[in-house]
Amino acid sequence: MKCSCFFIFIFLTSSVFGQIKMRKLEELIVTIDPGWPFVQQMIDSAKNKVEVLPCDTTLAKQALYNLQVTTRSPMGAIIYNTGGIMVDDGWIRILGSGSKRLNRSLPDWNKGKSFQNFGDMPAYLLIADDAVGGFFAVNGDAFGKDKGNVYYLSPDRLIWEPLGLTYTDFLYFCFNNNLNSFYENLRWQNWKKQAAKLDGNKVFNFYPFLWSKEGKDINKNSRKKIPVEEQFQFNIQTRINLGLDKNPPDQ
d(CA 77, CA 21): 20
Beta bridge partners, 124, equal 139
Instruction: Identify the three-state secondary structure at position 197.
Output: coil
Instruction: Give a yes or no: residue 153 inside a domain.
Output: yes
Instruction: Give a yes or no: residue 217 inside a domain.
Output: yes
Burial pattern 44-78, b for ≥16 Cβ within 10 A else e, equals eeeebebebbebeeebbbbbbbbbbbbbbbbbbbb
Distances (CA, A) of 123 to 126, 139, 160, 163, 250: 10, 7, 13, 17, 5
Instruction: Give a yes or no: residue 203 inside a domain.
Output: yes
Instruction: Give a yes or no: residue 251 inside a domain.
Output: no
Dihedral angle sign, alpha carbons of residues 198, 202, 206, 209? positive
Using a cut of 0.85, tell me whether the model's pTM lies above it.
yes
Total domains present in the chain: 1
Instruction: Give a yes or no: residue 26 inside a domain.
Output: yes
| Domain containing residue 201 | 5-183+191-241
d(CA 117, CA 132): 28
pLDDT tens, per residue, the chain with 251 residues: 333 343 334 344 444 444 468 999 999 999 999 999 999 999 999 999 999 999 999 999 999 999 999 999 999 999 999 999 999 999 999 999 999 999 999 999 999 999 999 999 899 999 999 999 999 999 998 998 999 999 999 999 999 999 999 999 999 999 999 999 999 999 999 999 999 999 999 999 999 999 999 999 999 999 999 999 999 999 999 999 999 876 555 44
